[in-house]
């Protein structure tokens, strides 16, 4: 099999990571590479680590350029994917379109309009295979919405407890630290090295972060009832990685052994998600560059809560790796094709 693949938003962090992983995919031939403001420039001037593609010139991001490929990855800012996806539906109906942006993740038009301030583009199958029932949704799909990097971390951390019925659906609290690449590549004063190095800062405090409804949506599906989440993201002085600490109240009578069994059952056979041996805690360094999530949990008997800490690379498993994993499933390829569990150290 040789699949022709186009990547939009190739000058950004997410698009660059998609290309990096595709270069190691044995079933893929990279076709059009597009951008918006950087159209006409050499990719090597913008993504110097992508040596094999350095002389490729970025084309304009239009449906006409992207049409005709077997697969199209849309690594675009929120609000930009919907219109192009709709055009591709007409120009190239047989193409698998994978949206790494936010446009097609939410099921509620009201939630989208509240948090993003524009018209809802519709809902696509959610590209997080490790959630209950999602592999069946993704297999054979022609449209896939890749989760946000924070929701990937938080949903994988908490979903087993709600699926197993051991957690109370109210009073879920998540604090997560992300590397600066999570904010994208456009210039922002608070992401300058002199501002970010040696400092941590919160943002989106008080329920205002756009990933909050996405996290609640996924956990509510796992629980079979509404789940309320207080989510606080923080900016960490590192280029990439997420470390999330999530806590939830245990239902009466649930003990530590029952809690651990729920996570072991959920992830015991998963290739890209691992519950670490007791006493070992996740680090972002251990998953750098990999499509891998590591987590650990503990029961605070005094507070009646479980604490789960999970780490992943926001650009790999949190975006591009999850997108390629979903592509593999949709096309009937082995799920792990072109992806690795192995991180980079030191």
User: Which residues are known to be catalytic?
Assistant: 149
Output b/e per residue, 81-99; b: 16+ Cβ within 10 A: bbebbeebeeebeebbbbb
Task: Identify whether the C-beta of residue 298 lies closer than 8 Å to the C-beta of residue 307.
Answer: yes
- Closest C-alpha among 53, 52, 67 to residue 10: 53
For residue 269, the tally of other CB atoms under 10 A from its CB is: 7
Q: What is the DSSP letter of 333?
A: -
Task: Name the token pair of 271.
Answer: 């290739």
| Cα angle for residues 159, 127, 31 (degrees, 5° grid) | 155
Q: Under DSSP, is residue 276 helix (H, G, I), strand (E, B) or coil?
A: coil
Task: Name the token pair of 317.
Answer: 């498993």
* DSSP of 153-222: HHHHHHHHHHHTT-B-SS-EEEEEEE-GGGG-SS--GGGSHHHHTT--EE-STTTT-TTHHHHHHHHHHH
First to last CA, the chain: 36
Task: Identify whether the C-beta of residue 199 lies closer than 8 Å to the C-beta of residue 140.
Answer: no
What number of H helices and E strands is found in the chain?
Answer: 11, 13
Q: Under DSSP, is residue 243 helix (H, G, I), strand (E, B) or coil?
A: strand
Q: Which segments within the chain are labelled E, that is strand?
A: 3-8, 28-35, 59-60, 71-74, 96-99, 143-145, 172-178, 201-202, 229-235, 242-249, 273-275, 293-300, 305-312
């Amino acid at each position: 099999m040789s699949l022709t693949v186009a990547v939009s938003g190739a000058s950004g962090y997410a698009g660059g990571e998609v290309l990096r992983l595709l270069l190691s995919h044995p079933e893929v031939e990279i076709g059009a590479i597009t951008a918006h403001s950087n159209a006409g420039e050499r990719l090597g001037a913008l993504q110097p680590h992508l040596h094999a593609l350095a002389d490729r010139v970025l084309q304009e991001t239009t449906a006409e350029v992207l049409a005709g490929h077997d697969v199209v990855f849309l690594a675009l800012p929120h609000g930009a994917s919907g219109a192009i996806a709709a055009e591709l539906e007409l120009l190239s109906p047989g193409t698998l379109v994978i949206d790494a942006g936010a446009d097609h993740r939410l099921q509620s038009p009201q939630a989208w309009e509240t948090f993003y301030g524009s018209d809802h583009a519709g809902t696509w199958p959610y590209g997080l295979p490790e959630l209950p029932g999602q592999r069946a949704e993704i297999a054979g799909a022609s449209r896939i919405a890749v989760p946000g990097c924070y929701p990937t971390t938080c949903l994988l951390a908490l979903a087993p407890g709600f699926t197993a019925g051991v957690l109370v659906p109210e009073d879920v609290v998540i604090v997560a630290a992300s590397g600066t690449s999570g904010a994208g590549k456009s210039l922002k004063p608070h992401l300058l090295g002199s501002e970010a190095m040696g400092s941590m800062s919160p943002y989106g405090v008080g329920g205002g972060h756009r990933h909050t409804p996405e996290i609640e949506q996924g956990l509510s599906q796992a629980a079979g009832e509404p789940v309320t989440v207080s989510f606080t993201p923080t900016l960490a002085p590192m280029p990439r990685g997420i470390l999330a600490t999530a806590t939830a109240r245990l239902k009466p009578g649930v003990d530590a052994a029952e809690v651990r069994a729920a996570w072991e059952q959920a992830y015991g056979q998963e290739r890209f998600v691992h519950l670490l041996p007791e006493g070992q805690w996740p680090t972002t360094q251990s998953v750098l560059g990999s499509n891998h999530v590591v987590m650990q949990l503990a029961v605070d008997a005094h507070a009646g809560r479980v604490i789960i800490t999970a780490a992943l690379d926001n650009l790999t498993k949190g975006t591009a790796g999850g997108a390629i994993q979903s592509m593999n499933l949709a096309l009937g390829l082995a799920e792990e094709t072109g992806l690795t569990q192995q991180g980079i150290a030191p």
